[in-house]
Amino acid sequence: DIVMTQTPLSSPVTLGQPASISCRSSQSLVHSDGNTYLSWLQQRPGQPPRLLIYKISNRFSGVPDRFSGSGAGTDFTLKISRVEAEDVGVYYCTQATQFPSITFGQGTRLEIK
């Protein structure tokens, strides 16, 4: 299975300031079809996960444009341009390149300073 490793595990951020989360995979996430199936999920306290970003950098429907994704191969980043109070929660990267053996990162907790 592909191992997904996120850093940091916890990120205290000041409201209005940017935040960045990294995700590294144990092998390349480039699929045989040429796409890279790396997604980011947000899990607010007490809520199920919610899809934010798919295929590295595509925002899902309704996701604010302060969220952006980037990266390639084995290294990926989720950025929040200006953190808002509603962004508090845990963020997960996940790969589906090796579908159906889907794996998740260990999660990064975003909290307000």
Partner 1 sequence: QVTLRESGPALVKPTQTLTLTCTFSGFSLSTSGMCVSWIRQPPGKALEWLALIDWDDDKYYSTSLKTRLTISKDTSKNQVVLTMTNMDPVDTATYYCARIHYGDPYYFDYWGQGTLVTVSS
Binding residues for partner 1 (CB under 8 A): 1, 33, 35, 37, 39, 41, 48-51, 54-55, 58, 60, 92, 94, 96-97, 99-107
Least distance CB 54 / partner 1 (angstroms) = 4
* Nearer Cβ to partner 1 (79/104): 104
DSSP string, 18-76: -EEEEEEESS--B-TTS-B-EEEEEE-TTS--EEEEETTTEEPTT--TTEEEEEETTEE
Least distance CB 102 / partner 1 (angstroms) = 4
* Nearer Cβ to partner 1 (56/83): 56
* Nearer Cβ to partner 1 (19/56): 56
Strands 58-59 and 4-7: what pairing? unpaired
Least distance CB 3 / partner 1 (angstroms) = 12
Q: How far apart are CA 11 and CA 1, in angstroms?
A: 27
Q: How far apart are CA 82 and CA 62, in angstroms?
A: 17
Least distance CB 51 / partner 1 (angstroms) = 6
